[in-house]
Amino acid sequence: MAAEVDRRRVLITGASRGIGRGVAHSLAEAGFDLVLNYRSDKAAAERVLAEVRELGVHASLLPFDVGDRHAAAEALAADLEEHGAFFGAVLNAGVNRDAAFPSLSEDSWDEVLRTNLDGFYNVLRPLVMPMVRARRGGRIVTLSSIAGLTGNRGQVNYAASKAGLIGATKSLALELAKRQITVNCVAPGWIDTEMLGDADRESLAKGVPLQRLGTPEDVGAYVAFLFSEGASYVTGQVVSVNGGLA
């Protein structure tokens, strides 16, 4: 059961499933109050909401599409007006639309960049100044990918968006460091979520030095560390959670 002291709110985007759900559990176990963002699957988001509330934290839902600048600004402004500044944010929402580059459609390029990279601006732009004015520091964590570090065949759009997140994260970390707001990036490897689609999970696991796929909980645990006091001197970093992949 989480302690009832020093309540600190954290927004998690894309919190209804996969890595977002793992992050929500880990941060709830660490005692943070949560605002769970989702785009369309309300039933799944409500299940995560019930799960984290059972861990003793305050939690609520905040539906909006991170790729829709107006919708994000409207939803966040209303929340900030009612509840005040967030202590932190985890930018997890993301999509993939894989195809070899010659057959990559305009819509597939635009949707992935709009969600994965524009979402950084759309979500954090409304949150940063309230965090600064609160004068209590804070934590921001973005979710990139091994594809953003090494590239991946069939994922030019996805890799571009995730590499862009790394650059944005490092730059924002420099801007916010004097405010004691840390900004870091986690780059997962092969994590066993629905984003893997029909991929051969057994074959993928054989290529990982630890000989298994990662879990949402593996990623969530590291995000929770970045929110801890023990990580207060860590900022502008990209950490791979990938089982030892080069």
Say whether 158 is catalytic.
Answer: yes
* Superfamily classification of domain 9-241: NAD(P)-binding Rossmann-like Domain (3.40.50.720)
CA atoms within 13 A on the CB side of 120: 24
- Which residue(s) pair with 183 in the sheet? 140
Cα–Cα distance for residue pair 149/238, rounded to 1 Å: 10
Rounded CA-CA distance 115/244 in Å is 28
Taking CA atoms, 234 is separated from 13, 87, 113, in Å, by 22, 16, 27
The residue extents of the domains of the chain are 9-241
Given the residues 38, 121, 158, 222, the one annotated as active site: 158
Q: What is the pTM of this model?
A: 0.94
CA distances from 212 to 115, 183, 222, 245 (A): 29, 29, 17, 11
Per-residue pLDDT of the chain (246 residues; tens, 9 = 90+): 343 445 799 999 999 999 999 999 999 999 999 999 999 999 999 999 999 999 999 999 999 999 999 999 999 999 999 999 999 999 999 999 999 999 999 999 999 999 999 999 999 999 999 999 999 999 999 999 999 999 999 999 999 999 999 999 999 999 999 999 999 999 999 999 888 888 889 999 999 999 999 999 999 999 999 999 999 999 999 999 999 997
